Amino acid sequence: MAITKLSSSNFTGGKTVSFDTQFGGDRAVDIDFLVIAGGGGGGSHSAGGAGGYRTSYGTSGGGASAESKGIVVSGKNINVTVGGGGTGTNGFGGYGSASTFDNISSERGGRGMSANNNGGVGGSGGGGGWGSGSGGAGTANQGFAGGASGNGSGGIEMSGGGGGASAAGNSGYGVGTGTGGDGGDGVASTITGSSITRAGGGGAGSYRADPWSAGNARPGGAGGGGNGGIRSSPYVVIQATAGTANTGGGGGGSGSATGMTGGNGGSGIVILRYPSTLTITVGAGLTASTSTDGSDSVTTFTAGTGTVSFS
């Protein structure tokens, strides 16, 4: 295997081998990573959850500390996949797709749902559909749960917001106003040299039968979560928005199953930070760019699947 997740040393045959020595004839170097899966798509009412968030550089998702760095053995091919976002629908939203860097895998974002259905389980969970839907669970050390539905009256529908990497989605609330829950916020990372927040959950949709008074639009969480839609029958129609590409943000939930759809989840991302003394070779099938920050190089993968190697 090209990468072994260790914190300080590798043990081979009882002998401790440091990162800077020869490792089976090839040099082994520790590197930092950020792996975020694709966000879940919004459903007919509730929002999609953010893709799972794992990193060795700063805080991980779900309130976890940084993971151990990976060890790259020069000349060995390493698999990389950037997960896509789930599709927003007027029913059950689509799950996101996992992102991977060798044996490091982040879970897909949970999908948003329709009325009385629980949000999808994922890296961060999708929101619960209005009526009796519970929020979907997040994955330990990757993200938080989606929010539960509210239970309004008189044609008022309140759904849960999608979970984010640093906070759970908010539940629907406000009997008489038809207000869905906000999306949970994502996590900020400086792995590229600049602070960027990613993996926010989608905002839930809101519906009110009163044609003159719409519920408030619920925002997605900081870090690319899509905004929820609004429907106040029949005059006010605001469509949900998609999660931001390459953040793993969840898609916003729609305001109604009639004539509206949830937003698509944002695609994921894989970022590697390593000493500039190394040279990376990116194989076909991957879209990537490399920059420098101090004495390190930073390679960002924004789409595709394929292999990379270092020399």
The pLDDT value recorded for residue 206 is 82
Secondary structure in 3-state letters for 177-200: CCECCCCCCCEEECCCCCCEEECC
The pLDDT value recorded for residue 176 is 53
The pLDDT value recorded for residue 128 is 92
Burial 224-250 (b: 16+ CB within 10 A, else e): bbbbbbbbbbeebbbbbbbbbbbbbbb
User: CB-side exposure of 28: number of CA atoms within 13 Å?
Assistant: 23
Chain segment 105-163, per-residue pLDDT in tens: 999 999 999 888 999 999 999 999 888 889 999 999 999 999 998 765 555 567 899 99
- Does pTM surpass 0.85? yes
**How far apart are alpha carbons 172 and 246 in whole angstroms?**
27
The pLDDT value recorded for residue 70 is 86
The pLDDT value recorded for residue 45 is 83
**How far apart are alpha carbons 90 and 83 in whole angstroms?**
23
- 25 contacts: CB under 8 Å, gap ≥ 6: none
**How far apart are alpha carbons 105 and 90 in whole angstroms?**
30
Which residues are registered as beta bridge partners of 309?
Answer: 281
Assess contact for 10 and 27: CB atoms under 8 A: no
The pLDDT value recorded for residue 74 is 86
Phi, psi of 230 (to 5 degrees): -135, 140
**How far apart are alpha carbons 305 and 311 in whole angstroms?**
20
The pLDDT value recorded for residue 71 is 84
Query: Domain locations in the chain?
Result: 26-311
The pLDDT value recorded for residue 238 is 87
From start to end of 56-155, where are the E strands? 70-73, 78-81, 99-101, 104-106
The pLDDT value recorded for residue 207 is 76
- Over the chain (311 residues), what is each successive 10-residue block's mean pLDDT? 38 33 61 98 94 97 95 90 96 96 96 93 94 93 93 66 96 68 96 98 81 68 95 79 98 85 97 96 97 97 97 91
The pLDDT value recorded for residue 202 is 97
Alpha carbon of residue 288 to chain centroid: 19
Assess contact for 169 and 162: CB atoms under 8 A: yes
The SS3 call for residue 62 is helix
- The dihedral over CA atoms of 234, 235, 236, 240, expressed in degrees to the nearest 10, equals 50
The pLDDT value recorded for residue 21 is 41
